[in-house]
């Protein structure tokens, strides 16, 4: 544990200034993040109006598989943000752009290598994933075709993580807004054209996503390369091909990898259990999970802003500034969570009607919607503390609390509440999210903030 002397007290930032800085970073990210679940809403709405729920179920399975695969490498976004934010804070003192360039180039090289590896191993990945989910034969075959199309977007998707992570870390939040709005705007237009216009059904959703990923990646590169810190390039080519130079990047992110796999296992298991109950329950959960995506991406705007500002404070070794960032981020995260719950309570039934005109899907979704109303406030601390711990590059704690939430809370609660059917499944997910936030909050309160800011080994 680091002593209090390891971080200077630093100086405070005027309260109004910090609120404005937080919002200046957060609002573009909130808008950008909300476009992500809006894509899921469009997928659900377009497929939900076809003549069978199997297409909606197939895309739910396929999208969940890619969430598991791609976000297994989510450390490329989170780790890049934390490292870039601390390098950004440090360069404000010594005017040295080399660490920022090194973080970007190494993370991008790693993303490309992983993307190509995923393409080469796709047959094994899909066979295993579809076997574990164990949906009906018709849904499984449609999901397989969806996956075989989308996998070729892997390099672009992982490049997105690096581009967005680096831009957030350097406090350029409008860059991610442009990238994500472009990606999802292109995706939505092609979604409607391919599915409703050309009749490609679930295959059309996959092709729309693939084209949008490469288009928006090109836009992202154009934005990043205009950065003032990349105009004069200092990183030598030999550094990028020296595996020893990647030690810090891999060491910082190894815990984030395990943490993300555990998180995605939980959601994959959730989808699998819904599929085993029936195709109808699978389709209903797919509709309701779009609300959770809306919650998480909205709250992640403040969490992402906290990542950037906490990383900057750690890079500057300014503990007073660090404390201010945590306080201000907490206030706005709580306000936003409450607004989400109120909005879902007032408008949730109408939104469900927009997502599907299949009577049995609509009726059953309304039965489980009480869980969705509760989720914003329950889940808020987990998103906020994720941002704080990422900015401080304290990935070990994030890993350990996630493992406990999955194996000591989610799975036991699911096992004990199987008699409650889908309500038991949603209870397990709700308590999982609650434990994540409470456990990280406990660690934060127990240890000094100086300790939380301790850097990872290099």
Dump the DSSP string for 149-171: HHGGGHHHHHHHHHHHHHHHHTT
Angle 163-188-178 from CA coordinates, rounded to 5°: 30
User: Structure tokens of 29?
Assistant: 């990210």
Among 36-45, 113-122, 171-180, 433-442, the range scoring the smallest mean pLDDT is 36-45
Is residue 457 situated within a structural domain?
Answer: no
Contact 41, 199 (CB under 8 A): no
Residue 310 counted as domain residue: yes
Identify the residue with better confidence: 100 or 162. Answer: 162
Angle, helices 395-404/422-446, rounded to nearest 10 degrees? 150
Residue 357, SS3 per DSSP = coil
In a domain, 20, yes or no: yes
Q: What does the pLDDT read at residue 103? A: 85
- Residue 335 domain-assigned (yes or no): yes
Q: What count of other Cβ atoms lies within 10 Å of the Cβ of residue 434?
A: 19
Kindly state the average pLDDT of the residues 338-353. Answer: 87
Residue 52, in any domain of the structure: yes
Q: Give pLDDT, residue 401.
A: 96
Residue-wise pLDDT tens digits, 302-312: 999 999 999 88
Q: Quick check: helix, strand or coil at residue 370?
A: helix
pLDDT at 52: 64
**Residues near 416 by Cβ (< 8 Å), separated by ≥ 6?**
424
Between 14 and 378, the more confident residue is 378
Domain membership flag for residue 458: no
Lowest model confidence (mean pLDDT) among 46-50, 92-96, 261-265, 316-320: 92-96
- Average the pLDDT over 390-406 and give the result: 92
* Domain, as residue range, for 156: 4-452
pTM of the model: 0.80
Split into its structural domains, the chain has a count of 1
Average pLDDT over residues 30-52: 67
Which of 150-164, 227-241, 283-297 shows the highest mean pLDDT?
150-164
In a domain, 302, yes or no: yes
Bridge partners, 318 (sequence order): 8
Of 35-44, 68-77, 435-444, highest mean pLDDT: 435-444
Least confident of 114-118, 136-140, 434-438: 136-140
Instruction: Report if residue 332 sits inside a domain.
Output: yes
Kindly tell me if the per-residue pLDDT of 372 is higher than 80.
Answer: yes
pLDDT of res. 458: 44
pLDDT at 258 over 80: yes
pLDDT(5) > 60 = no
């Amino acid at each position: 544990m680091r002593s209090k002397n390891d971080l200077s007290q630093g100086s405070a930032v005027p309260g109004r200034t910090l609120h404005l800085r937080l919002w200046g970073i957060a609002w573009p990210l909130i808008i950008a993040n909300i476009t992500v679940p809006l894509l899921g809403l469009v997928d659900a709405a377009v497929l939900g109006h076809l003549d069978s729920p199997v297409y909606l179920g197939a895309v739910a399975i396929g999208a969940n598989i890619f969430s598991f695969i791609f976000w297994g490498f989510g450390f490329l976004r989170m780790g890049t943000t934390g490292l870039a934010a601390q390098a950004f804070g440090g360069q404000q003192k010594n005017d040295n752009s080399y660490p920022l360039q090194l973080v970007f180039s190494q993370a991008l090289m790693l993303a490309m290598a992983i993307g190509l590896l995923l393409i080469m191993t796709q047959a094994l990945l899909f066979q295993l994933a579809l076997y574990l989910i164990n949906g009906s034969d018709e849904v499984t075959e449609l999901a397989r075709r969806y996956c075989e199309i989308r996998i070729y977007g892997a390099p672009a998707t992982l490049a997105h993580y690096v581009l967005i992570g680096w831009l957030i870390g350097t406090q350029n939040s409008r860059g991610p807004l442009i990238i994500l709005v472009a990606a999802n705007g292109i995706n939505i237009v092609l979604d409607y054209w391919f599915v409703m216009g050309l009749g490609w059904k679930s295959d059309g959703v996959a092709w729309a996503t693939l084209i949008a990923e490469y288009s928006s990646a090109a836009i992202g590169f154009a934005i990043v390369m205009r950065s003032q810190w990349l105009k004069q390039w200092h990183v030598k080519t030999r550094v990028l091909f020296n595996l020893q130079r990647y030690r810090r990047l891999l060491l910082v992110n190894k815990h984030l990898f395990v943490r993300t796999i555990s998180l995605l296992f939980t959601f994959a298991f959730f989808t699998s259990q819904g599929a085993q109950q029936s195709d109808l329950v699978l389709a209903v959960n797919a509709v309701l999970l779009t609300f959770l995506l809306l919650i998480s991406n909205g709250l992640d705007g403040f969490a992402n802003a906290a990542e950037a500002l906490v990383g900057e404070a750690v890079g500057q070794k300014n503990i007073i500034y660090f404390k201010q960032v945590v306080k201000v981020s907490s206030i706005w995260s709580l306000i936003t969570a409450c607004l989400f719950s109120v909005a879902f309570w007032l408008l949730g039934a109408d939104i469900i009607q927009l997502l599907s005109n299949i009577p049995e899907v609509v009726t059953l979704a309304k039965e489980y919607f009480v869980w969705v109303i509760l989720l914003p406030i329950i889940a808020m601390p987990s998103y906020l503390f994720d941002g704080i711990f990422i900015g401080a590059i304290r990935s070990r704690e994030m890993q350990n609390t996630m493992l406990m939430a999955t194996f000591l809370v989610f799975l036991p609660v699911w096992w004990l509440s199987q008699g409650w059917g889908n309500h038991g499944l949603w209870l397990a997910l709700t308590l999982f999210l609650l434990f994540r936030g409470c456990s990280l909050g406990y660690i934060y309160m127990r240890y000094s903030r100086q300790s939380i800011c301790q850097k990872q080994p290099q």
